[in-house]
Amino acid sequence: MNGLDWLELLLLLSLSALLAKPLGNYLCSVMDPKEKTVLDRLVKPLEMRLYRLIGIDPFAEQNWKRYLGSLLWFSLASCLLTSLLLALQSYLPLNPQKFSAPSWHLNINTAVSFMTNTNWQSYGGEATMSYFSQMAALAVQNFVSAAIGLAAAGAFVRGIGRKEAKTVGNFWADLVRIVLYLLLPLCILSAALLISEGVPQNFRPYIQAETLEGGIQSIAQGPIASQEAIKMIGTNGGGFMNANSAHPYENPTPFSNFFEMLLILLIPCAQIYYFGKSAGDVKHAWCIFAALALVFATGVFVTAFCESIGNPAFKELGIEGGNWEGKEVRFGLFSSSLFACVTTVVSCGGVDCAHDSLTPIGGLVPMLNMQLSEVIFGGVGAGLYSVLLFVLLAIFIAGLIIGRTPEYLGKKIEAKEMKLTVLAIIPYVFIVHLFTALACTTGWGLQGLGNSGPHGFSEILYAYSSCAANNGSAFAGLSANAPAYNLTLAAAMLFGRFLVIIPVIALAGSLAEKKIHPQTSGSFPVSSFVFIGLLVGIILLLGALTFFPALAIGPIVEQFYMLKGIFSS
């Protein structure tokens, strides 16, 4: 690690913070159908035609139950449509490689994966999916699944900001406006830049090339740049190629590598500012940003430090230079470590190195990032409502300490709100531990392992942590394309997504009905260093308490094995 490495981290965080304000301001306009945007002249006619087509009034708001019902029914319908398109893949156009339909269990896993914004892939994209499936099924889901998450966050923000209200917005208006005014324009610009860096965008059949040894190599083609853009901006992570962003077609240069990390952080950072402005306390939003940035930077330091040291056993053999296994020489140790942390704090799941090849503690950090329940910036929408749940928890604990009824931005946080908060936080912990224990004690679970001992346990723990957090990255040593794994991982994705969204929308409805009381000198200051410290403590404490036992028998034990020169057990 050197000064240029830390300059890259500083530049990434600085640009994310600088872009948060203008994009957050723009997001405020997007989330209000009565507000005008700079794209109105171009997009408004299409928006109004869509409203007429689906027969809704964008200004007719819904209570939380109707909003949630619309969200759930749309999610179900989009999942079924994706599954149908995949099942009919061999009969549909734009399939120059003549790919057949995926197996029934892979179909279910993939449809659920992309619908929940997880993009877990138990398959190699360029060897399984046609161009039509990549675009009409998977890329479309990348747009709408991200929009669903941001719509849920918008309803939650309205619940916090409104007083004595019965409604939390209109789901259909939120969905349409997020896609048309935010995601689509950002993706068009980003895809154009990626194409300029060398990312392909075509419909050509795969190229058959003769190698120097006289063999034949199939070089995949396709509409890669367009899917790469929404994969990053929507914090989806599903790669066109099996190697994801480690493949030179998805991520050809050090500049594209940095640009993709910036795209991943773009909306998650902007949505924090959007919340602050909508709630009338921008300073509080910056305090949340500071707390998350502190945890994120600490994780980057730990991962990069461990990867730069590498395995001491190699040093004894005179091999220096850190842990280069599974890394791209185009990017280097630090950039690969930084990408691993960015993609796991923001529930993106796109990778530019093999997480399975990280050192034990280097791999622990990305795993823990996900186990903190999508809190550190988190995914589009999901990260915002997840961190606000932890903020409410921190405020409640502060209220217990000072002996007052907890208040947040002028609203009293009572028993009902805390029950809903806990109901939204607990499922993730339960899901990960339940399915990990199930896989570790059954034949089908152990059969998929690529490694034995603590690293094998880490492969399983990482998989269910990733799917329940709707991240989608993996310890690549696990062979998960089997019926039991595909179905249990799909269940983890479904529960991890909707067992959080349901209480979040209910909490939005409860908060919207409350009165706003003027804050007094006895109110807990949510725009202070004390609040930042409390929030960081709650985030880390919850992760340490709930996952430390599992991490102790996985990557932590493996670290001791590595230091002792033990490579299997």
pLDDT digits (tens, 9 = 90+) for 518-533: 877 667 888 889 999 9
Closest C-alpha among 335, 455, 346, 323 to residue 463: 455
Residue 7 lies in a domain: no
Residue 512 is predicted with a pLDDT of 94
337 domain residue, yes or no: no
Nearest 5°: the CA angle 498, 499, 501 is: 55
Q: What is the pTM of this model?
A: 0.93
Q: What's the confidence (pLDDT) of residue 239?
A: 85
pLDDT in tens, 332-369: 899 999 999 999 999 898 899 999 899 999 999 999 99
Q: Which residue has the higher pLDDT, 217 or 155?
A: 155
Cα–Cα–Cα angle for 259, 46, 145, nearest 5°? 50
CB-CB contact of 418 with 392 (8 Å): yes
Mean pLDDT of 175-184: 96
d(CA 521, CA 306): 46
In a domain, 468, yes or no: no
The answer to whether residue 400 is domain-embedded is no
- As for how many domains the chain has, the answer is 1
Cα–Cα dist 76/196, whole Å? 37
With residue 25 as reference, give the H or E element that holds it.
helix 3-30
Cβ(98)–Cβ(536) below 8 Å: no
Q: Which residues make Cβ contacts (< 8 Å) with residue 360, sequence separation at least 6?
A: 306, 454, 455, 458, 555, 556, 558, 559, 561, 562
The mean per-residue pLDDT over the stretch 180-193 comes to 96
Confidence of residue 568 (pLDDT cuts 50, 70, 90): low
Residues 6 or more apart from 213 whose CB is under 8 A from it?
none
* pLDDT-based confidence at residue 450 (cuts at 50, 70, 90): confident
Share of the chain above pLDDT 90, in %: 74
For residue 329, being part of any structural domain is answered with no
Residue 559 lies in a domain: no
Say if residue 509's pLDDT is above 90.
yes
Angle CA 436–299–569, to nearest 5: 45
- For residue 507, the SS3 value is helix
If one compares 451 and 12, the residue with the highest pLDDT of the two is: 12
Instruction: Give SS3 for 408.
Output: strand
Tell whether 94 is covered by a domain. Answer: yes
| 397-418: burial string, b at 16+ Cβ within 10 Å, e else | ebbeeeeeebbbbbbebeeebb
Amino acid in position 57: D
Residue 165's pLDDT is 92
- 59 pLDDT more than 80: yes
* Residue keyed to tokens 């989330």: 31
Angle of helix 332-345 relative to helix 360-371, nearest 10 degrees, comes to 20
| 526, two tokens | 């949510």
Mean pLDDT to the nearest integer, 198-222: 89
The parent domain of residue 158 ranges over 20-279
**Residue at 466 is within a domain:** no
